[in-house]
């Protein structure tokens, strides 16, 4: 293991580690544009110049592998001057339109310019004009702002493997562009907006919608597939404005798919259920009346795999209290599992918590979906049904919609108005994934926290509260407590959660061990 000295402090690094990576890992910040930890280094921005003991001139640290006893110096008058000069070159053709640039406030060029006090331009000649144009359905480029770091080009080659972007023209006319007639339109395309260090590549959905310094950022987890990519949600005045990727080496590295980034329109949809029809008491009393008349097993349940661990746990308790059979599991499988050259995966199941449903009710039950519930309704065994759904646009099977007609009683806890909620006698509006706290278990059995980002609509109530109130009304529970306390119950009840709480899950989640008890032992 080579030992290197960074600003006089000795650290040990893996063989072949690049000097910039070594510095960043040692907590020494070196400004950089073209280097991205998830991409191969290019060494073209020259911003990361440092002094190394093996060379008389300053070296680009992103291209300089560490050797044993290498001494790296990252601060000093000559280094500062070099960086300031690099910045001056970068700003020659940069329009400095920060006030109207959407990147303003989170722009590396802006930050370093402030850091190195490059306040005045000596360049008096007219600046180059490079085109502002659409690169694809989601992305627009401001050519003037581009500093040709090629992060986006490398992303398209290495991670998405689609290679739509390239650098065209030469010298100071160089700019990132697509090939004629081939727009950038791959499932990961918006990552290039994330990694663009300046405001050249802009997400058209986010364009002009908020200035980032007014917005709030919340760390949470994407719910768009069972991969559970770590995400950062930007919200302003209680409305979600965009979702960007949050690095997590164990789940999504630095990336996130376009579908996940854009899966928030429904949260502020006009079709959101926002007024209650009936109450949880009506739900429990009607269900109890049916059980009394038709006997045990006459009330069934349907639960979606969009629910959190806490909600599924409580729903299982509710089913037990109503002497119901195992509920139907609503999933949303669409397409096939996609694996990209960079190792990024988009799962086929478009719900975030499938793994915990499998753990509670078994793989067979989840595979079965709503089929058994439909059979039971058609066979007259199930007279009343309680549906708990969080999937934005659930794929209700036609057979299920038809079978609903035979029910005597239907209660729905859902977020959007649907054919099912239209037919229900009790409708209790629930909360979308961005409106609640909870835990999802991803496809790799990793438990990750989701956070409340925006307030729910007026009439909506947290599902954990609704379910607990129903349980209290049925006499199966003493009190209504917070989601965090419910998770504490789960940690005592399910062996794989043992010893966990919200604080221990942290920002990046915890990989779960195999459950020790069998599936049938579940409540």
Partner 1 sequence: MKMGKFKMRLYLPAVAKGLWVTMRRFFSRKETVEYPDQAKVPRKGYRGEHRLKKDEQGRMKCVACFMCQTACPAECIEIVAGPSPWPDRDKIPVTFNIDMLKCIYCGMCEEACPCDAIELTPTYNIVATSRADKIYDLHKLLSR
**214 in contact with partner 1 (CB under 8 A):** yes
Is the Cα torsion angle 8, 11, 13, 18 positive or negative in sign? negative
> C-beta of 420: minimal distance to partner 1 in Å?
36
Segment lying near partner 1 (by CB under 8 A), choices 48-56, 201-209, 317-325, 504-512: 201-209
Between 453 and 472, how does the x/- string for binding to partner 1 read (CB under 8 A)? --------------------
What is the Cβ-side half-sphere exposure of residue 249, based on CA atoms within 13 angstroms?
2
Smallest distance, Å, CB 104 to partner 1? Answer: 8
Q: Which position among 99, 119, 126, 180 is part of the footprint of partner 1 (CB under 8 A)?
A: 99
Region from 207-215, 277-285, 489-497, 502-510 binding partner 1, contact rule CB under 8 A:
207-215
Window contacting partner 1 (CB under 8 A); options: 71-79, 150-158, 203-211, 484-492: 203-211
Q: Give the contact letters, 124-163, x = binds to partner 1 (CB under 8 A), - = no.
A: --------x-------------------------------
Number of shown-chain residues binding partner 1 (CB under 8 A): 10
- Order of strands across the sheet with 139-142? 132-134, 139-142, 201-203
In terms of CB distance, is 209 or 218 closer to partner 1? Answer: 209
Strands 175-178, 165-168: pairing kind: antiparallel
Q: With binding defined as CB under 8 A, does residue 371 bind partner 1? A: no
Residue 211 contacts partner 1 per CB under 8 A: yes
Query: Pairing state of beta strands 438-441 and 446-450?
Result: antiparallel
Contact 359, 494 (CB under 8 A): yes
Q: According to the binding rule CB under 8 A, does residue 207 interact with partner 1? A: yes
Among 119, 208, 478, 479, indicate the residue that binds partner 1 (CB under 8 A). 208
What is the chain's Cα-based Rg? Answer: 27
- Cα 220–chain centre separation: 6
Closest residue by Cα to residue 43 from 67, 24, 18, 26: 18
In this structure, what token pair is assigned to residue 39?
Answer: 């991409």
If one asks whether residue 213 binds partner 1 (CB under 8 A), the answer comes out as: yes
| Cα 518 from chain centre | 31
Which range of residues in 30-38, 208-216, 376-384, 463-471 is near partner 1 by CB under 8 A?
208-216
Q: Which is nearer to partner 1, 132 or 367 (CB)?
A: 132
Q: Are 258 and 270 in contact (CB under 8 A)?
A: no
Q: Do residues 224 and 264 make contact, with C-beta atoms less than 8 angstroms apart?
A: no
* 3 state SS of 82: helix
CB of 208 to partner 1, least distance (A): 4
Give me the least distance between CB of 132 and partner 1, in Å please: 8
Least CB distance to partner 1 at residue 99 (A)? 3
In this structure, the dihedral spanned by the alpha carbons of residues 488, 494, 495 and 498, taken in order and rounded to 10 degrees, is -10
Confirm or reject binding of residue 209 to partner 1 (CB under 8 A).
yes
Q: Which stretch binds partner 1 (CB under 8 A): 177-185, 204-212, 216-224, 427-435?
A: 204-212
Beta strands per DSSP E along 94-158: 132-134, 139-142
Q: Quote the tokens at residue 66.
A: 């560490």
Closest distance to partner 1 from the beta carbon of 268 (Å): 15
Q: Are 135 and 190 in contact (CB under 8 A)?
A: no
């Amino acid at each position: 293991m080579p030992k290197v000295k960074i600003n006089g402090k000795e650290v040990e690094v893996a063989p072949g580690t690049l000097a910039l990576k070594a510095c960043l890992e040692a907590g020494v910040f070196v400004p950089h544009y073209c280097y991205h930890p998830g991409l191969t280094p290019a060494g073209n921005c020259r911003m990361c110049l440092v002094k190394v003991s093996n060379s008389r001139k300053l070296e680009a640290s992103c291209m300089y592998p560490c050797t044993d006893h290498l001494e790296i110096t990252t601060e000093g008058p000559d280094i500062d001057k070099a960086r300031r000069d690099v910045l001056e070159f970068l700003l020659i053709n940069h329009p400095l339109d920060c006030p109207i640039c959407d990147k303003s406030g989170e722009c590396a060029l802006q930050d370093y310019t402030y850091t190195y006090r490059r306040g005045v331009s000596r360049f008096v000649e007219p600046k180059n004009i490079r085109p502002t144009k659409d690169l694809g359905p989601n992305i627009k480029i401001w050519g003037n702002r581009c500093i040709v770091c090629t992060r986006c080009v490398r992303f398209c080659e290495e991670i998405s493997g689609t290679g739509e972007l390239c650098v065209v023209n030469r010298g100071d006319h160089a700019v990132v562009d697509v090939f004629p007639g081939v727009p950038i339109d791959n499932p990961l395309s918006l990552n290039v907006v994330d990694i663009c260090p300046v405001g050249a590549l802009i997400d058209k959905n986010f364009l002009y919608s908020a200035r980032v310094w007014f917005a709030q950022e919340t760390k949470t987890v994407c719910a768009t597939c069972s991969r559970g990519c770590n995400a950062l949600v930007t919200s302003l005045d209680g409305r979600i404005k965009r979702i960007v990727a949050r690095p997590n080496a164990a789940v999504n590295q630095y990336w996130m798919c376009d579908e996940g980034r854009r899966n928030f329109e429904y949260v502020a949809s006009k079709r959101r259920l926002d007024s209650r029809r009936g109450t949880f008491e009506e739900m429990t009393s009607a269900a109890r009346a049916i059980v009394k008349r038709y006997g045990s097993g006459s009330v069934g349940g349907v639960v979606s795999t969009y629910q959190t661990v806490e909600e599924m746990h409580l729903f299982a308790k509710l089913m037990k209290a109503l002497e119901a059979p195992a509920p139907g599991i609503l999933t949303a499988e669409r397409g096939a599992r996609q694996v990209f050259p960079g190792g990024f995966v988009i799962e086929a199941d478009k719900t975030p918590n499938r793994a915990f449903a499998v753990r509670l009710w078994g793989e067979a039950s989840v595979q079965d979906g709503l089929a058994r519930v439909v059979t039971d309704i058609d066979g007259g065994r199930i007279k009343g049904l309680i549906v708990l759904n969080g999937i934005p646009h659930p794929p209700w099977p036609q057979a299920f919609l038809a079978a609903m007609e035979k029910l005597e009683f239907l209660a729905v806890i859902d977020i959007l108005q649907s054919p099912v909620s239209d037919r229900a006698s009790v409708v209790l509006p629930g909360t979308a994934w961005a409106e609640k706290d909870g835990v999802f278990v991803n496809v790799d059995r990793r438990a990750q926290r989701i956070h409340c980002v925006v307030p729910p609509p007026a009439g909506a109530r947290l599902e954990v509260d609704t379910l607990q109130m129903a349980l209290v009304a049925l006499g199966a529970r003493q009190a209504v407590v917070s989601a965090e306390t419910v998770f504490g119950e789960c940690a005592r009840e399910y062996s794989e959660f043992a010893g966990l709480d919200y604080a221990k899950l942290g920002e990046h989640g915890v990989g779960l061990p195999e459950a020790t008890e069998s599936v049938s032992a579940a409540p």
